[in-house]
Structure 1
Amino acid sequence: MKDFLSLASRRQSDRAFDPQRPVEKEKLQRILEAACIAPSACNSQPWHFIVVDDPELKNRVADATSNRVLGMNHFTKQAPVHILVVEEKPNLTAGIGSWIKDKNFSHLDIGITAAHLVLAAEDEGLGSCIVGWFDETKVRKLLDIPSGKRILLDIVIGYSTQPDRPKKRKDPKEVISYNRY
């Protein structure tokens, strides 16, 4: 457990990458394998990963994540890899369970797989940032994603040039209780 806590403590949302240093295919493959083995409701695995590492296409996807008015996500162009997470239909059991329990199990599952992915990237010595703000219509057109599919996340991966920073988290006493709220 000590090793996992160390890994989780090191992982941060990086917003500065070395654009000249590509991510090795072997590392990328291991990261994606870690994401694929993430647990999901009823083993539904309601995700599809699109790896964008072609420099020209990657820059066009990065442009779709940037917002000039709000000054958001301009760092995404530096990252050599974008991994888009597309929501897939859950299997029948998970779909019925989501409806009965009024919980979107697919979104929960995608959060879990995203956590696996970014922790695996950290373990490989790579930085990452999970991006949820992007022009979904533009990204859909760029990557030929069918209109009925939702792109939930863009996870950028690369060699971070951002210094480690201390984590600012709530005190555990504020977010943990035992046996009652």
Structure 2
Amino acid sequence: MSDLLPLDPDQLLSSTRSVRKRLDFDRPVPMEIIRESLEVALQAPSGSNTQGWHWIVVTDPEKKRVIGDYYAQAFGAYRNSPMYATNHTSGDADRDATQGRVASSAEYLAERMGEVPVLVIGALKAGKDLPAKNQAGLWGSLLPAAWSLQLALRARGLGSAWTTLHLQYETEIAQLLGIPEDVRQGVLLPVAYYTGKDFKPAPRQPLDTVLHVDTW
């Protein structure tokens, strides 16, 4: 078993950050660590214990390059959309400064996604047509496991980042990787060792601004 960082549960949960600029593009990531972390992720809950998840681990340089190109195209479209301005401009100086740093790191990752040592796509056997209404029950059977994977990687000294922009090209990427039509992708995690020092909890809005007890 890989050496684990000396983190208690609260430290692990509050210091697992989205790593972009600090991903180490040059240091190889052993497949044993990916497999070990996925074994942890498979302990996550899923609806009716269906465990319908699938994990596509991409290390082939050419396939990573193609996925990176699709991701960069999707990021370019997002960056030029009204949603991008809305997400990064609130009128609050401190929050906008933070969002500016997030935007810079996101752009950096978009430019280099294809160079990350390992890309992990979390997918779910869901049928060709997704539900027209609320899909929380569907994706609730995949996303907890993907987060568990990020935590397991963090505990082993690796970084990752939650990304979904590749889904604009889900069909093309499925064809590239031979993913069946009834298996739908939910998240793309770039995985690498990280550079620099450790991580600390990020600024968050006060709990009482989002907490509702018994009524809104």
TM-score exceeds 0.5: yes
Contact preservation (8 Å) 1:15, 1:76: no
Give TM-score, length-normalised by structure 1. 0.82
Which residue is 1:78 aligned to? 115
Pair 1:5 & 2:10 matched = yes
Specify every segment of 5 or more residues in structure 1 that has no aligned partner in the other structure, as ranges.
91-97
Q: In the alignment, what sits opposite 1:60?
A: 66
- Deviation of 1:119 (Å): 0.7
CA shift at 1:15, angstroms? 0.8
Match among 106, 113, 119 for residue 151 of structure 2 = 119
Q: Return the offset for 1:141.
A: 1.5
Q: What displacement does 1:34 show? A: 1.4
Write out per-residue CA displacement over residues 15-34 of structure 1, whole angstroms, 9 at most, x where no aligned residue: 13211111122211111111
Q: 1:13 to 1:162 in 2, by over 3 A?
A: farther
Contact 2:125–2:182, Cα closer than 8 Å, also in 1: no
- 3-state secondary structure, aligned to 1:28: helix
Within 2, Cα distance between the matches of 1:37 and 1:169? 28
Count how many residue pairs are aligned between Structure 1 and Structure 2.
172
Contact 2:64 2:115 in 1 (8 A): no
1:129 maps to what in 2?
161
The 10-residue stretch of structure 1 (113-122 or 138-147) with the greater mean CA deviation from structure 2: 138-147
Report % sequence identity: 30
Q: Deviations over 1:81-130 (max 9, x none)?
A: 1111122139xxxxxxx99x965422012111111011111111100011
- Write out aligned runs for 1:120-159 (5 A): 120-134=152-166, 135-159=169-193
- Please tell me whether the aligned partners of residues 14 and 201 of structure 2 are also in contact (alpha carbons under 8 angstroms): no
Q: Secondary structure at the match of 2:161?
A: strand
TM-score, structure 2 normalization: 0.70
Matched, 1:170 2:176: no
In 2, Cα distance between the equivalents of 1:166 and 1:10? 5
Distance 1:74 1:35 in 2: 28
Q: Which runs of 5+ in 2 are unaligned?
A: 1-6, 80-106
CA-CA distance at 1:131 after TM superposition: 1.1
